[in-house]
Amino acid sequence: MPQLRLALNQIDSSVGDLAGNAETIVRWTRHSAEQGAHLVAFPEMVLTGYPVEDLALRSSFVEASRAGLRALAARLAEEGLGGLPVIVGYLDRSAAAQPKYGQPAGAPQNAGAVLYGGEVVLGFAKHHLPNYGVFDEFRYFVPGDTMPVVRVGGVDVALAICEDLWQDGGRVPAARSARAGLLLSINASPYERDKDDTRLELVRKRAQEAGCTTAYLAMMGGQDELVFDGDSIVVDRDGEVVARAPQFAEACVVVDLELPGAVADAPEGVVDDGLRIDRVVLSEEPAPAHDAGETGETGEAGGNAGGYAARLDDDEEVYSALVVGLRAYVRKNGFRSVLIGLSGGIDSALVAAIACDAVGAENVYGVSMPSKYSSEHSKDDAAELARRTGLNFRTVAIEPMFDAYMGALELTGLAEENLQSRLRGTLLMALSNEEGHIVLAPGNKSELAVGYSTLYGDSVGAYGPIKDVYKTSVFRLAEWRNRAAVQRGQTPPIPENSISKPPSAELRPGQVDTDSLPDYPVLDAILALYVDQDRGADEIVAAGFDAELVAKTLRMVDRAEYKRRQYPPGTKISPKGFGKDRRLPITNGWREG
């Protein structure tokens, strides 16, 4: 059988930076060529970045993408890479779709193309368009109606884009009907906890349905609230893993595949789901064989890491996602440094550790802002965190400002408590303006769910790194990060006292979170059912929770919607984060139970 050396480049790209993304594609294509690749692939919409959201509705951006693709094809040829077929995701438009009500203006398409010999030799658009969770692809795109097949080295390679594998029908059975030797899907599938296991089973299933080796090429990096974890996979026709890329790392996965040659009577015309085979032949003769031992994952400097990258454990996986998400947000938006209010508590401590890992401790600035209610151990814990991590640290007491406000307004109760938080938020934003840092909001998912955060106080900031992390997970991730440091022979970044002491906002004497909230393990279990799974009150009570506690918790969640709308974006790690995943009206008279 013919051998095909496939190079899967799971790389990061930036939305809107067509020139920078094209440069990255050229660089990784050159690297793939140096590895002896016969066919090179890049992720979904790599040229434009993903997701482009309403940029897809701007004809100027669509045309810039189309022109950028043609220029990229010419550039590859100019640099001596024109004889290497390269598959690239980009933004296109349909020439056939007629304007109609309910269809996105200009008929944009989430598309892929094969570049070869300085030309775009084959184009195709995503057939299945997702419209759930964070996806709005019916809003942005019109579907493709072809079954693209490119013949390389005497092997027919069927092509697909992301959701084409996640949905039944369409291009998977069409690849079998087309008698393809390889099904290659380019993807930009956002990270979620445990999705790696789901993804592997999906690829195995689709390979068996397509009746051929299947390669799933994933994107890596971050875009606003989304993180892409890589984890590209190649399985044979029986579903056995041939190669698997690392998680949360850019990589060029190079794998030699023994594949059936293209048949002389290869099918033409319309196949499954009305898809029309669109075949282009680039080379009939089998490509020169390589030694199988040369394959593996390689970085741009070369090297061989083996065909199956080690898996991260669950906590390391989530922590890595939080680091990648914050790093991408800071760097892609042109910032250099971040600012965090350090209370000595677990949330700000975890955010600080993530920030140090994401952008370097030298670019992290922490401020302790004690009031008269701040405990000595909390002030000490904030200073100890700074000492352990090496971040920049200062103390600015808010008591004089607080006393001035109290003298003018004579506030009491909750107003007095929230004033302290708002003074801290104002102080952080003032330093941000003066020194050029972006402020990180330390709120976790449990607090945001029940409204246990102060508007224009601890909610101020440009990004919330643990916005989608429940409080119980905050503790678990902090403990994991400290264990990981010990295993590496490093100083654990988070003081043990920050992990062990009862959580408290310290806005009044003796205050702890459980004064107004259930114990976090119970609270988080209820929230997971209500927020993440959309279970009703009766179902949650039937799951074993106290009816009065459930009713109280759900009321807090419903009443806090207006606060969540004003919270900054933050890294999504769950199937349903606050934001595009969960869209509820602020003005809402419905109450569960």
Whether the pLDDT of residue 293 is over 80: the answer is no
**CA–CA distance, 569 with 591 (Å, rounded to integer):** 26
- Rounded Cα distance between 78 and 524, Å, is 57
Q: What is the DSSP string of 477-520?
A: HHHHHHHHHHHTT---SS-HHHHHSPP---SSTT--GGGTS--H
Q: How far apart are CA 406 and CA 527, in angstroms?
A: 36
What mean pLDDT, rounded, does the chain reach?
92
Least confident span in 210-224, 325-339, 578-592: 578-592
Catalytic residue among 44, 192, 209, 297: 44
Q: CA–CA separation, 534 vs 135, rounded Å?
A: 18
Order of all β-strands in the sheet with 296-298? 119-125, 108-116, 86-93, 39-41, 3-10, 251-258, 296-298
Average pLDDT score over residue span 183-197: 92
Cβ-proximal residues to 8 (8 Å cutoff; 6+ apart), any chain: 41, 215, 217, 232, 234, 245, 252, 253, 254, 255
Fold exhibited by the domain 3-311: Nitrilase/N-carbamoyl-D-aminoacid amidohydrolase (3.60.110)
- Cα–Cα–Cα angle for 418, 495, 369, rounded to 5 degrees: 30
Kindly calculate the radius of gyration of the chain based on its CA atoms and give it in whole angstroms.
26
Q: Report the C-alpha gap between 568 and 557 in whole angstroms.
A: 18
Helix, coil or strand: residue 392: strand
The dihedral of CA 354, 358, 359, 362: what is its sign? Answer: positive
Q: How confident is the model at residue 479 (pLDDT cuts 50, 70, 90)?
A: very high
More confident residue, 1 or 545: 545
Distance, CA of 292 to CA of 273 (rounded, Å)? 37
Rounded to an integer, the average pLDDT of 559-576 is 94
For 146-172, the pLDDT digits (tens) are 999 999 999 999 999 999 999 999 999
Helix (H, G, I), strand (E, B) or coil at 198: helix
> Would the pLDDT of 562 be above 90?
yes
Model pLDDT, residue 302? 37
Q: What is the pTM of this model?
A: 0.92
Question: Which pLDDT score is estimated for 296?
Answer: 58
Number of other residues whose CB lies within 10 A of the CB of residue 534: 10
Q: Of 216, 466, 462, 447, give the one whose Cα is nearest residue 318.
A: 466
- Residue 451 CB-density burial (10 A; 0-12 exposed, 13-18 middle, 19+ buried): middle
Residue among 126, 467, 471, 572 flagged as catalytic? 126
Structure confidence at residue 527 as a pLDDT band (50, 70, 90) = very high
What per-residue confidence (pLDDT) applies to 513? 73
314 touches 193 (CB < 8 A): yes
Percent of the chain with pLDDT over 90: 79
- Per the DSSP assignment, residues forming a β-bridge with 116 are 119
Q: Is residue 149 a contact partner of residue 279, using CB atoms and an 8 Å limit?
A: yes
- Residues 305-354 have pLDDT tens digits of 337 888 899 999 999 999 999 999 999 999 999 999 999 999 999 999 99
- CA atoms of 98 and 410, how far apart (whole Å): 66
3-state per-residue secondary structure call for 426-457: HHHHHHHHHHCCEEECCCCHHHHHHCCCCCCC
Phi, psi of 117, deg, nearest 5: 60, 30
**Distance, CA of 496 to CA of 478 (rounded, Å):** 9
Question: Could you tell me the pLDDT band of residue 292, with boundaries at 50, 70 and 90?
Answer: low
Catalytic residue, chosen from 34, 100, 119, 162, is 162
| Concatenated DSSP letters of 292-325 | GGG-EEEBTTB----SBPPPPPHHHHHHHHHHHH
Does the pLDDT at position 294 exceed 60? no
CATH 3.40.50.620 positions along the chain are 315-512
What pLDDT is recorded for position 306? 38
Bridge-based pairing of strands 86-93 and 233-235 is unpaired
The predicted model gives 27-56 an average pLDDT of 97
Each residue's pLDDT tens digit, 491-504: 999 999 999 988 77
Is 362 catalytic? The answer is: no
Judged against a pLDDT cut of 50, whether residue 304 lies above it is answered with: no
Backbone angles phi, psi at 258, to 5 degrees: -90, 115
Is the model's pLDDT at 297 over the cut of 70? no
The pLDDT value given to residue 507: 62
Confidence (pLDDT) at 298: 55
Rounded CA gap, 488 and 298, in Å? Answer: 24
| CA-closest candidate to residue 339, choices 317, 368, 302 | 368
Separation of alpha carbons 447 and 472, rounded Å: 11
pLDDT at position 291 is 66
How is the chain split among helix, strand and coil, in percent rounded to 5? 40, 20, 40
Domain with CATH 3.60.110.10 in the chain: 3-311
Q: Specify whether 126 is catalytic.
A: yes
- CA neighbours closer than 13 Å in the CB half-sphere of residue 261: 12
Q: What number of H helices and E strands is found in the chain?
A: 18, 20
Q: What distance in Å separates the CA atoms of residue 367 and residue 340, rounded to the nearest whole number?
A: 6
Say how far apart CA 117 and CA 428 lie, in whole Å: 55
Write out the two tokens for 127: 């057939």
Q: Is the per-residue pLDDT at 299 higher than 70?
A: no
243 DSSP assignment = E
Helices (H), 226-345: 314-332
* CATH number for the domain running over 315-512: 3.40.50.620
Q: Does residue 60 sit in helix, strand or coil?
A: helix
317 included as an active-site residue: no
pLDDT at position 303 is: 33
The residue assigned the tokens 């979904």 is 44
Model pLDDT, residue 510: 73
The residue whose two tokens read 């989608």 is: 468
Instruction: Give burial (CB, 10 Å; 0-12/13-18/19+) of 551.
Output: middle
Token pair 């669950």 in the structure block, residue: 314
